[in-house]
């Protein structure tokens, strides 16, 4: 029996929405968060630091100044509501861990159906869950009320027909579970990158901005920033299969949006577990001649949800490589991340300051959130003035 695309699409949409809603509705809700209690706990913990942890009040005060949306227990995690408020997005739904797990597993099982309209050669791999995240980002990217609204840019990376599942008219009906959690980190990174760019342009309007995303999966942030005129160069570094798939996705995007080659980032193959290869590639990028000549360049290194999948010791080593390459090449640079850094317990800002300092970075902002990619922040290179 023949099924027409419209019939398949309708069946998929109805099945997915019903299943997603069911996964949410059968979950056991948690009690609402008490903001007053959280604020009191924050103050109490600050006092305990100076006694039981042998940390003086200055250390605690120094840590607090990095925290965006302070009002939660310093050594722990903010609530989802507090993390969302810190970056200006709507909070995630209040649901049990079982509900979150059920929704996540359902989405992963549903991927093959979502890409049924693509040939096997055209279908991108779900490397480190990059494909799952792409669909989740498309939901948030189609929400006009969200600060991460991208005018359908992420939506245009998705396959034909089945992408209608996350059309703007349908996206608002999805329970605010995993896509809302990823929306928090997307908002933070977008805001932090733009803050750095604005700051550097105020200091020197002729400064050129280069964005290097390490292990960014199928994210289209660099395209969004290029179209806004905020960055001058962009590099996306990832595993070979992700890079190959991303080239196909970008070809699709370019056709749907009539993009010029200059609007797309340069894609480069890399295995982040091989530190010396990373060093070599980053050095080549920072020292390669550009069409802008000998202009003053500021490089932003960006990590999003990739350190979780790397070998032990590699996340910390990558921070050190980025800073050392900047110093060796006599360049300016910053760091933005929404990831899982090493040597940091929960959301402890003092440990974050130490981990960054050990790798020659000075923490500028610290905004932890619940989830695997729990450490969000930005930093600048420590004690270095490049020669001019």
| Whole-number Å distance between alpha carbons of 223 and 94 | 33
Q: Taking a C-beta distance cutoff of 8 angstroms, is the pair 281, 270 a contact?
A: yes
Residue 120: predicted pLDDT: 75
Alpha-carbon distances, residue 333 vs 224, 301, 356 (angstroms): 21, 8, 14
The arrangement of strands across the sheet holding 297-304 comes to 266-269, 233-238, 208-214, 297-304, 332-339, 375-381, 361-366
pLDDT 10s digits, 5-30: 444 444 444 445 434 443 443 333 33
Residues of the chain with pLDDT under 50: 1-15, 17-60, 69-74, 387-388
pLDDT of residue 212: 98
Token representation of residue 280? 């070599």
Query: 150 phi and psi, to 5 degrees?
Result: -120, 20
Residues in the chain, overall count: 388
Taking the alpha carbons at both ends of the chain, their separation in whole angstroms is 72
The pLDDT value recorded for residue 35 is 35
DSSP 3-state of 257: helix
Alpha helices by DSSP H, 3-96: 5-25, 35-49, 57-64, 80-87
Q: Are 314 and 272 in contact (CB under 8 A)?
A: yes
Asked whether 332 and 297 are in contact (CB, 8 A), the reply is yes
């Amino acid at each position: 029996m023949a099924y027409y695309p419209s019939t398949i699409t309708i069946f998929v949409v109805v099945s997915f929405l019903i299943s997603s809603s069911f996964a949410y509705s059968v979950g056991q809700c948690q009690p609402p968060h008490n903001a007053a209690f959280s604020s009191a706990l924050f103050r109490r913990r600050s006092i305990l630091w100076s006694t039981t942890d042998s940390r003086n009040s200055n250390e605690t005060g120094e840590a607090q100044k990095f925290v965006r949306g302070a009002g939660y227990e310093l050594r722990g995690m903010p609530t989802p509501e507090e993390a969302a408020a810190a970056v200006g997005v709507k909070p995630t739904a209040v649901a049990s861990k079982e509900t979150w797990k059920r929704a996540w597993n359902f989405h992963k099982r549903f991927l093959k159906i979502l890409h049924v309209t693509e040939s096997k050669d055209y279908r991108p791999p779900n490397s480190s869950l990059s494909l799952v995240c792409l669909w989740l980002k498309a939901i948030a990217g189609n929400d006009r009320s969200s600060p991460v609204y991208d005018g359908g840019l992420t939506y245009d990376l998705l396959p034909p027909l089945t992408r209608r599942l996350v059309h703007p008219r349908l996206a608002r009906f999805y329970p605010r579970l995993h896509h809302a959690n990823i929306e928090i980190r997307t908002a933070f990174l977008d805001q932090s990158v733009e803050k750095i760019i604005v700051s550097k342009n105020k200091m020197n309007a002729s400064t050129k901005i280069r964005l290097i995303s390490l292990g960014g999966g199928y994210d289209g942030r660099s395209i969004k920033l290029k179209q806004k005129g905020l960055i001058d160069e962009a590099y996306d570094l990832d595993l070979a299969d992700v890079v190959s798939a991303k080239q196909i996705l970008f070809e699709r995007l370019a056709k749907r949006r009539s993009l010029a080659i200059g609007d797309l980032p340069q894609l480069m193959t890399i295995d982040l577990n091989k530190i010396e290869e990373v060093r070599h590639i980053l050095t080549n990028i920072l020292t390669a001649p550009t069409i802008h000549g000998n202009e003053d360049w500021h490089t932003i290194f960006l990590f999003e949800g990739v350190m979780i999948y790397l070998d032990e010791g590699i996340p910390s080593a990558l921070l050190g490589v980025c800073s050392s390459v900047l110093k060796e090449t006599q360049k300016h640079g910053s760091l933005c991340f929404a990831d899982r850094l090493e040597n940091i317990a929960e959301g402890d800002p003092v440990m974050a300051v130490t981990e960054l300092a050990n790798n020659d970075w000075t923490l500028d902002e610290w905004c932890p959130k619940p989830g695997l990619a729990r450490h969000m922040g930005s930093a600048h290179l420590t004690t270095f003035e490049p020669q001019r």
